[in-house]
Structure 1
Amino acid sequence: MTDPRTAPVTTTDAGIVTVRCAGEVDVGAAPHLRDALRAPIRGHARGVVADLSAATFCDSMVLTVLFEAHRDAQAHDVPFAIAADGPAVTRPLELLGLDRLLPLHPAAAAARAAVTGTPEPRRP
């Protein structure tokens, strides 16, 4: 059973869907994350961002879900990006070489900018 603190939370803004998971994102959360990413991709959203910037642990099943979502997004011509800045997500991706294959960004704003094709907003 997925801990409600790690269940994906989906928001939509101007056709861009952001799916956010925080805390320990493990094998229990993977199917929920898969479904949360698959629906907007297959529904031809304007873009999809997987925001794992608040994840403290990332299971190998979640890495598979991210890879599948990327492949699915390409097949449906939907821009897709991943936001992850902590070692819980970035380190396993680097070890597996997936950081060179997946659209990985250090923050949700950068991932959203990549999906929309607009420059990242500057901080004051």
Structure 2
Amino acid sequence: MLTPTAAARHDDLDTGHGALARITVTTTSEYATVAVTGELDLSVTTQLHERVTTELRLSPAALILDLTDVTFCSSSALAVLLDAVTTAHARGIPSAIIATHRAILRPVELLQLGRILPIHHDHAEAHAWLSLVARLRDPAPTS
């Protein structure tokens, strides 16, 4: 099995209070992955919104937001995530969010956003979800 070639670019962002956030975008023929490391606070949300918007304009086959290494998530960051997922849906682009830390899971649970924000625990689960969505959207022709 061939592995798709990936292109990656990243930006290190100083949040202004001693913490550092990194946004890395990796694209393959199957997915555009926007991964965030560090704190998703107000100082980072504009850049995150810009990166996600840029990727969605390129119409990837699917969008993955990897928040596995996020240690803090502000309300403005949740708004960016909601906007990303709803924009992807409106454009017919399947999306998945990978998150394992309480910083993401807790506010999503408290605000009852689980039906809007498709949270998965790892890449394998997100990829399986996106494969299922692709199969449901483009069913195999029947003979």
**TM-score relative to the length of structure 1:** 0.86
Instruction: Say whether the 8 Å CA contact 1:79–1:115 is kept in structure 2.
Output: yes
Q: Is the 8 A contact 1:49 1:115 kept in 2?
A: no
Deviation at 1:57, TM superposition (A): 0.7
Change (3 A) 1:27 1:112: farther
Structure 1 unaligned runs (5+)? Answer: 119-124
In the alignment, is the contact (CA less than 8 A) between 1:10 and 1:20 conserved in 2? yes
Is the CA contact 1:46–1:78 (under 8 Å) kept in the aligned structure 2?
Answer: yes
| TM-score, scaled to structure 2 | 0.75
- Map 1:31-70 to 2 at 5 A: 31-70=46-85
Higher relative contact order (CA 8 A, sep 6+): 1
Runs ≥4 residues deviating over 3 A = none
Matched, 1:79 2:94: yes
How far has the Cα of 1:67 moved from its partner?
0.3
Counterpart contact for 2:22–2:38, Cα < 8 Å: no
Measured in 2, the distance between the counterparts of 1:35 and 1:15 equals 21
| Counterparts of 1:39 and 1:112, CA distance in 2 | 21
Once the two structures are superposed, what CA deviation does each residue of 1:1-59 show, in whole Å capped at 9, x if it has no partner? x3284131100122411100011111111111111111122221111100001111111
Q: Please, which moves more after superposition, 86-95 or 99-108?
A: 99-108
Residue 16 of structure 1: aligned partner: 31
1:104 counterpart = 2:119: yes
Q: CA RMSD in A?
A: 1.9
C-alpha distance in 1 between matches for 2:130 and 2:55: 14
- 3-state secondary structure, aligned to 1:21: strand
What is the CA–CA distance in structure 2 between the aligned matches of 1:9 and 1:16, rounded to whole Å?
13
Number of aligned pairs?
118
**1:54 alignment partner, SS class:** strand
Point out where structure 2 has 5 or more consecutive residues left out of the alignment.
Answer: 1-12, 134-143
